[in-house]
């Protein structure tokens, strides 16, 4: 029998006749928010169930939020539905949502990845009857390389051109901090310069125990001071007037989309870094095998590719076509 207490809609994943909504795109009395990116975490909800880290991110972005903090592995009850959060491995505080009612188990992954990330706990596969998953990179062509290989490119370019800086375009929440941590893992111990848009969230990460090393504001710094260093900024700043004062920057960008050469050309990137915070094809299909659902629902992304794979593997699947989901900025 189909599970009828979970329904997709324009307002998000509806739970138990509207008792709560997962990642709603419109204000709701009770929202369960998987993580802090703007296409999942919106302002205006009456109350928000989320990890403490996600609630802190929402407060930093939207102001005071009436939060119901739930730690990983903790269970709370919404009516007759049990709600448990587990790590999603996407960004700081990101969570999968396990919903249980009358012996039925539904997992909403939110955005997730399986690759190692020093800024957040790793994804935990949880057995379920229905898996509601993203499919941002839901095509076999997307197989992301190890982040260490991509970071090595930055180190090589700095060594080749010490009179220049490497300007890395990275989304302010999650990607920027992950790139910084991977640089530290690779032995880069120099100060890293930040665009002003990065400073607040980097401070929030450090307040939650993520060590980023010495960071300096690029605003007001002399060009000569930044030569031979890494500068991290939003992708939109790479060709902004702000970047003209940097010492002959090598333009880099961190995104899973840069595996596609046309994307590199479109963005005029000198140094593409294929570093993604979303599951690639192998991670998506491996996750489905591990959690062994009887049915898969795909919220957004390359739905057709994943639906076809499910069909070939005798797994029922459907596309939800969720409104308001986007992968372009932070993938």
Q: What is the DSSP letter of 151?
A: H
Across residues 300-326, what is the average pLDDT?
A: 88
Under CATH, to which class is 147-273 assigned?
alpha beta
Alpha-carbon dihedral angle through residues 233, 236, 242, 247, given to the nearest 10 degrees: 60
The token pair at 162 is 């010490």
pLDDT digits (tens, 9 = 90+) for 240-296: 999 999 999 999 999 999 999 888 888 889 999 999 999 999 999 999 999 999 999
Q: CA end-to-end span of the chain, whole Å? A: 36
pLDDT digits (tens, 9 = 90+) for 157-195: 999 999 999 999 999 999 999 999 999 999 999 999 999
What would the CATH number be for the domain defined by 6-141+278-319? 3.60.15.10
Note the pLDDT of residue 263.
86
> Which strands sit side by side in the sheet containing 81-87, from one edge to the other?
75-78, 81-87, 95-101, 104-108, 130-135, 295-301, 316-319
Whole-Å CA distances, 9 to 40, 45, 59, 302, 307: 14, 17, 26, 19, 19
Q: Give the global pTM.
A: 0.95
Note the pLDDT of residue 186.
98
Q: What are the residue ranges spanned by the domains of the chain? A: 6-141+278-319, 147-273
Across residues 98-112, what is the average pLDDT?
A: 97
Residue with tokens 């069909």: 311
Residue with tokens 């930040």: 194
Chain-centre distance of CA 134, in angstroms? 11
Residue 323 has pLDDT above 80, yes or no: no
Note the pLDDT of residue 270.
95
Asked whether the domain spanning 147-273 has the same topology as the one spanning 6-141+278-319, the reply is no
303 in Cβ contact with 296 (< 8 Å): no
């Amino acid at each position: 029998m189909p599970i009828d207490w979970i329904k997709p809609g324009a307002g998000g994943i509806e739970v138990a006749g509207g008792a709560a909504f997962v990642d709603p795109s419109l204000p709701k009395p009770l929202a369960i928010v998987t993580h802090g990116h703007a296409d999942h975490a919106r302002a205006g909800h009456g109350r928000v169930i989320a990890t403490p880290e996600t609630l802190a991110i929402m407060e930093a972005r939207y102001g005071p939020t009436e939060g119901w903090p739930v730690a990983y592995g903790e269970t709370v009850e919404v009516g007759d539905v049990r709600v448990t959060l587990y790590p999603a491995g996407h960004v700081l505080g990101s969570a999968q949502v396990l919903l249980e009612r009358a012996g039925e188990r539904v997992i909403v992954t939110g955005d997730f990845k399986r690759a190692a990330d020093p800024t957040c706990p790793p994804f935990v596969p949880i057995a379920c009857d229905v898996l509601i998953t993203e499919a941002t990179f839901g095509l076999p062509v997307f197989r992301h390389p190890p982040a260490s290989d991509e970071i090595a490119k930055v180190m090589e370019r700095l060594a080749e051109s010490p009179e220049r800086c490497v300007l890395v375009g990275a989304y302010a929440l999650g990607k920027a901090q992950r790139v910084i941590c991977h640089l530290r893992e690779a032995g880069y111990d120099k100060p890293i310069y930040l665009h002003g848009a990065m400073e607040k969230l980097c401070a929030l990460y450090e307040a939650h125990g993520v060590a980023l090393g010495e960071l300096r504001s690029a605003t007001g710094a002399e060009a000569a001071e930044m030569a031979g260093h890494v500068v991290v900024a939003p992708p939109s700043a790479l060709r902004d007037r702000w970047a003209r004062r940097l010492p002959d920057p090598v333009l880099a960008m961190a995104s899973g989309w840069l595996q596609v050469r046309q994307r590199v050309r479109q963005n005029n990137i000198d140094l593409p870094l294929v570093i993604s915070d979303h599951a690639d094809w192998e991670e998506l299909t491996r996750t489905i095998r591990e959690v062994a659902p009887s049915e898969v629902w795909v919220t957004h992304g390359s739905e057709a590719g994943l639906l076809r794979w499910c069909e070939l593997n005798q797994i029922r699947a459907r596309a939800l076509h969720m409104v308001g989901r986007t992968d372009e900025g932070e993938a």
